[in-house]
Structure 1
Amino acid sequence: MDNAEISLPPESKPAKTGFGAKLVQFLRGILPSIGWIVLYFVLQILCTAVLIAAGVGGGSLAGAASGDTKGVAVLWGLVISAIIQIGLLTLYLKKDGRYHRIGLDSFGKMPFAQTIGLAFVLILTAMIANFLYATYVIPGIGMQADMAKMLAEIPRTPLNIALGFGAIAIAAPIVEELLFRGLLQNALARFIPVWPAILLSSLVFAAVHGQPYAIPGLMSLSIAFGYLYHRTGSLRTNIILHMLNNSAALLLTQSMI
């Protein structure tokens, strides 16, 4: 009896999960993340449209429809929508230990020197990939051309400079890391291996920027951040490094104006 194999009665054995059930479970797992991403861009559009309608930056709804988006209104829209989104996400992440689970309360599980070394290698690799792509695959199309064009339309007052820095170098990294690493990558990694999760979340990150020619370049940077997040478990580290990256990109863009 001691050596006999013990098996559960047929009615006690767990039922096999079919493809349809797995698909439903997968969709239910990632839909909250997708919903937060959609909400962020809806807020951007709404905030910018309201500001243009109110005449911020001298814009108008007719001008926006014809492509004259008015940079000041766009920047204000980015900042206001980011503040709203961060406030809503703060309330969401406070529940059920989500704040801790996505790594917002620490600098991760790796030693500081090792984290910095890994980050340097990953970001440098992404920058080299970006350079090669922009130089040999899409020569003549500036990777930061759209941003440079928008910023060129904005009067260079101290307030506007501070606003641009806040929108691009502070607000955007916080929201993007929360959405694409903290929520989406984590949600995908519950159902698929980590590398497909990093690649898929990076593809979504690149696609929502609305610049098809820039998708490979944006993906390379997102993959670097995604892998760093996987290794360290710290979203706080990612946010800081993303801020530094965007600050450098902003300075580069300003030099093009």
Structure 2
Amino acid sequence: MSESSLANRPDITTKKKIAHVIFITVWVLFAFIATQIGALACLEAAKELGFRIQGGNQVLFVLLLNAVIYTIALIITVGAPRFARLLPKDLSTKKLLGIDKKPALSDLGMAIIAYLAYLVVSAVVMLLIIQMIPGFQADQKQEIGFESLGSGLEYIFAFLALVVMAPLAEELLFRGYLFGRLRSYTSFVPATIITSLLFALVHWQWNVGVDVFILSLALCYLREKTSSLWPAVFLHATKNGIAFTLLFVVPMSFT
């Protein structure tokens, strides 16, 4: 994914490039938020009609709900522009999303190195923000839909939701579609900043937003460096997997 082949397009004026960047960004944000609002509205409507929505396992419910939201968001975000013929005919969906190549062991190695770099930068930035902004709650717990796990099945459901599904779906949406489309009209730095800001925004918490903004910088770099989404998916899954272990697996070992 080189700047010379994507960002420097003499056939498109600067104003049109900016317009495309704005449209793509707003479109992804709209699709992501609209899908969540639509899902919540359907749940509320079902409750009003007397249906029992959360009568079973809460963790399974979160897993299935997120699966529906992510799937619909991806279909709308990627499918609608393809259906409306807004995407280049010679650009396949797999190529656009960065999944036209098979995952390789080297992708995992790059993800681990990037994870270590992300940890250092995130820690330094958090310390600086804590010093500069009194009252900033760096340790505020992230809302994930459930707080504790009981049975072995719940651990499996939670693992699938947090470590498998979320990294894959979010990477397809943000570093796959959003970053990939932005790179068609702008250079690496603006595309990375816009993607990372939007990714931070949709996490709805200041402390989480700062952390995932820094994470997204590393994710975008991997996407750019390799022209593949898989290193970013592995990095995201590594981050969530370690968080899952610290939040749920380690405490279980001491009970």
Is the structural similarity TM-score above 0.5? Answer: yes
Give the aligned residue type for 1:130.
S
CA distance in 1, matches of 2:26, 2:165: 23
Number of positions where the alignment pairs a residue of Structure 1 with one of Structure 2: 228
- 1:220 matched to 2:214? The reply is yes
Q: Tell me the distance in 1 between the aligned counterparts of 2:149 and 2:247.
A: 15
Moved more, 221-230 or 76-85: 76-85
Structure 1 residue 122 corresponds to structure 2 residue 114: yes
Shift of 1:122: 2.0
Question: 2:114·2:235 contact (CA, 8 Å) conserved in 1?
Answer: no
Among 73, 97, 120, which residue is 1:102 paired with?
Answer: 97
Q: Match for residue 3 of structure 2?
A: none
How has the CA–CA distance of structure 1 residues 218 and 31 changed in structure 2, closer, same or farther, with 3 Å as cutoff? Answer: closer
Work out whether 1:132 is the aligned partner of 2:155: no
Distance 1:160 1:50 in 2: 27
- The whole-number CA distance in structure 2 between the counterparts of 1:16 and 1:155 is 53
Unaligned ranges ≥5, structure 1: 1-13, 60-69
Within the candidate set 68, 90, 102, 1:80 is matched to: 68
2:156 aligns to what? 162
Deviation (angstroms), 1:232: 0.4
Cα displacement (A) at 1:117: 4.8
Are residues 251 and 136 of structure 1, via their aligned partners in 2, closer, same or farther at CA, if it must alter by over 3 Å? farther
Q: Is the 8 A contact 1:143 1:214 kept in 2?
A: no
Secondary structure, aligned partner of 1:105: coil
CA contact (8 A) 1:57 1:71 kept: no
- Residue 232 of structure 2 corresponds to 238
- 1:199-210 correspondence runs (5 A): 199-210=193-204
| TM-score after normalising by structure 1 | 0.69
Aligned equivalents of 1:198 and 1:166: distance in 2? 28
Match of 2:32 in 1: 37
Corresponding position of 1:145? 141
Q: CA deviation at 1:128?
A: 1.7
| Higher RCO (CA 8 Å, separation ≥ 6 residues) | 2
Instruction: Give CA-to-partner distance per residue, 1:111-133, whole Å, 9 cap, x none.
Output: 854x5554333211111223334
Amino acid at match of 2:98: G
Give the whole-Å Cα distance in 2 for the aligned partners of 1:198 and 1:176: 15
Give 1:171 shift. 1.4
Who is 1:5 aligned against? none
CA RMSD of aligned residues (A): 3.8
CA distance in structure 2 between the aligned counterparts of 1:242 and 1:32, rounded to whole angstroms: 23
Q: In 1, Cα distance between the equivalents of 2:22 and 2:65?
A: 31
Q: CA deviation at 1:44?
A: 5.0
Change beyond 3 A, Cα 1:170–1:52: farther
Q: Which residue of 2 aligns with 1:178?
A: 172
1:211 aligns with 205
Query: 1:195, 1:81 → 2: CA distance?
Result: 29
